[in-house]
């Protein structure tokens, strides 16, 4: 029986990429976007959470990403 690792892989990659302040931050303090500033705010966390939800829904439901492992 093969395990489907697609949702796990997609969720981990999106979590790392969309962590506010790590790669980019929308909205930033005083600007629309900042890159690599390692600071965050409440509205930024909310916006990144919405982006995460939208992208994971698209990848898992619409595209149907599947990664199988095992025998």
Render each residue's pLDDT in the chain as its tens digit; 71 residues.
Answer: 678 888 888 899 999 988 888 888 888 777 888 888 888 888 888 989 999 999 999 988 888 877 777 76
Tell me what pLDDT residue 54 has.
94
Tell me what pLDDT residue 51 has.
92
For residue 59, tell me if it sits in a domain: yes
pTM: 0.77
For residue 12, tell me if it sits in a domain: no
For the chain, give the longest Cα–Cα distance: 53
User: What H or E segment, with its residue span, contains residue 69?
Assistant: strand 68-69
Write the DSSP symbol of residue 31.
S
Structure tokens at 15: 């979590």
For residue 11, tell me if it sits in a domain: no
For residue 9, tell me if it sits in a domain: no
CB-facing half-sphere around the CA of 13: CA atoms within 13 A: 11
Tell me what pLDDT residue 1 has.
61
- Domain count across the chain: 1
For residue 70, tell me if it sits in a domain: no
| d(C-alpha 57, C-alpha 51), whole Å | 10
Tell me what pLDDT residue 71 has.
63
For residue 38, tell me if it sits in a domain: yes
Phi, psi at 25, each rounded to 5°: -140, 125
For residue 52, tell me if it sits in a domain: yes
For residue 1, tell me if it sits in a domain: no
For residue 37, the enclosing domain spans 19-65
């Amino acid at each position: 029986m093969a395990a489907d690792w697609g949702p796990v892989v997609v969720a981990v990659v999106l979590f790392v990429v969309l962590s506010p302040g790590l790669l980019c931050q929308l909205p930033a303090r005083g600007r629309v976007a900042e890159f690599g500033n390692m600071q965050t705010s409440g509205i930024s966390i909310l916006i990144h959470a919405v982006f995460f939800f939208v992208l994971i829904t698209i990848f898992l439901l619409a595209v149907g990403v599947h990664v199988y492992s095992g025998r």
